[in-house]
Amino acid sequence: MSVFKMDNDIERVLYSQEAIAEAAKRVGQQLAHDYENKTPIILVVLKGAALWAVDVMRYMEYTEVEFINVSSYNGGITSSGEVSLVTDIQSDVNNRDVIIMEDIVDTGRSLKFMKELLVQRGANSVKTASLLDKKEGRVVEEDVEYIGFDVPKAFVVGYGLDYSVNGKELYRNLPYVGILKKEVYAPEHANLVDHEITPTH
């Protein structure tokens, strides 16, 4: 039963809270296995990956947690193509195993930018665990080693992912991932949103 006003802005739920919890467990346990006897740095990509990272890392052994913020989106629903470093990592990644925690990989530009930065700083290994992989959106070739869900090419919100309304980044705190109702988008963006897609999970 819906108790949140925000739920009324959602056209369709793609991944429920329960499905996401299962995905976090699956990915977390896989990471725990793959990084056994290592102490990786979990690099949380702000702000979108915060919820996902917290849920995944509960299943892991010794880790450190760091944060990075890169910008490529400029608040709209289409990518600007430019990636810049907004908030840098606070620790030295030299010789460390780094797991980039992403909310979604779309064009791959942000991921490429971060991977190059980490490699340049001497990281021993760099892998990515993303809640969502929007493979159809790729502009630069980037692989994601750990994936929650393969998401169809649509603009999604929730569980970390936002949509800016009047300069406010909303919907990050929804417990599920869904597609916004057309009327929530600015009219000039409405035609960019595919409402006909079928959920994959």
Strands 97-105 and 84-87: unpaired
Beta carbon of residue 74, minimum distance to Mg ion (angstroms, whole number): 9
Active site residue 9: no
- Binding segment for Mg ion (CB under 5 A), chosen from 15-23, 24-32, 47-55, 86-94, is 47-55
Strands 177-180 and 10-15: antiparallel
H helix or E strand, kind and range, residue 125 = strand 125-133
| Contacts to ligand 5GP from residues 56-115, by CB under 6 A | 72-73, 79, 102-111
Give the x/- contact pattern for ligand 5GP in 124-163, rule: CB under 6 A.
----------x--------------------xxx---xxx
**Residues present in the chain in total:** 201
Q: Which is nearer to ligand 5GP, 15 or 107 (CB)?
A: 107
Distance in angstroms (rounded) separating the CA atoms of residues 63 and 65: 7
H helix runs in the chain, sequence order: 17-34, 50-57, 109-120
Distance in angstroms (rounded) separating the CA atoms of residues 136 and 118: 25
Beta carbon of residue 102, minimum distance to Mg ion (angstroms, whole number): 5
32, 60 Cβ separation under 8 angstroms: yes
Which residue of the set 9, 55, 103, 106 is catalytic? 106
- Residues lying near ligand 5GP in the complex (CB under 6 A) are found at 48, 72-73, 79, 102-111, 134, 155-157, 161-163
Catalytic residues: 106
